[in-house]
Amino acid sequence: EVQLVESGGGLVQPGGSLRLSCAASGFTFSDHYMDWVRQAPGKGLEWVGRNRNKANSYTTEYVASVKGRFTISRDDSQNSVYLQMNSLKAEDTAVYYCTRSDSSGFLYYWGQGTLVTVSS
Amino acid sequence: DIQMTQSPSTLSASVGDRVTITCRASQSISSWLAWHQQKPGEAPKLLIYKASSLESGVPSRFSGSGSGTEFTLTISSLRPDDFATYFCQQYNDYPLTFGGGTKVEIK
């Protein structure tokens, strides 16, 4: 059974940093692209970014609103993907979901999410 | 960026009703469209990919159709477990984008 478990959310002040983790199990982690998606309270879904697999050189993609502030990385030996968030703004407040993507690009499995609140 | 527009934003229906949700893309995305279901307090769940391919384990009352810029999700006979919010998502190009969601409520 595929499981994705996020951790690391919490309250952070504007301008601060936070690192989210996602522990994966139930599949061959190194074969798959991993994405982060967020959902502001009461709002819709926003894709944050993608980390491709080793076969695709671990290259990344980001939505414009986080480019230069957020970094997605992974550790295949730990079956984990990370979202480093710097220079956080109030509008980054959201539940952050870790997802496993299909090779064609759609979001296949979702974790339960972790809440990030940016507030003073 | 490719804009995804869903309609309606809210839909009131009864158990047993046939329900259709529409998703329009601002440019052609071929068949690179997925549908996800989200219940309150839960993570989204994949229902359909490549516009019309049903994910394993998803009931056959769900179906998807369309290509290019216009897509539909149909629930042939609404069940109590289907009251939820549905999102379309394009994966033709980056950034991946979602529709605003359609909340299916009990009438």
pLDDT of A104 above 90: no
Contact A10, A94 (CB under 8 A): no
pLDDT of A88 above 90: yes
Beta-bridged to residue A85, according to DSSP, are A18, A70
Average pLDDT value for residue range A32-45:
95
Q: How far B92 CA lies from chain A's nearest CA (Å)?
A: 8
Measured between alpha carbons, how far is B87 from B64 in angstroms, rounded to an integer?
A: 12
Token pair of A93, please?
């407040």
pLDDT of residue A24: 98
Closest CA to A109 of A118, A99, A117, A119: A99
Interface touch A106/B99, C-beta < 8 Å: no
Q: How far A102 CA lies from chain B's nearest CA (Å)?
A: 10
pLDDT of residue B86: 98
3-state secondary structure of A58: coil
pLDDT in tens, B47-97: 999 999 999 999 999 999 999 999 999 999 999 999 999 999 999 999 999
B52 inside 8 A of chain A by CB:
no
pLDDT of residue B107: 86
Beta-bridged to residue B88, according to DSSP, are B35
Q: Which residue has the higher pLDDT, A102 or A66?
A: A66
pLDDT of residue B25: 98
Using a CB-CB distance cutoff of 8 angstroms, which residues of chain B are in contact with residue A46? 98
**Number of residues assigned to chain B:** 107
pLDDT in tens, B23-59: 999 999 999 999 999 998 899 999 999 999 999 999 9
Of B32, B43, B97, nearest to A97 by CB-CB distance is B43
3-state secondary structure of A3: strand
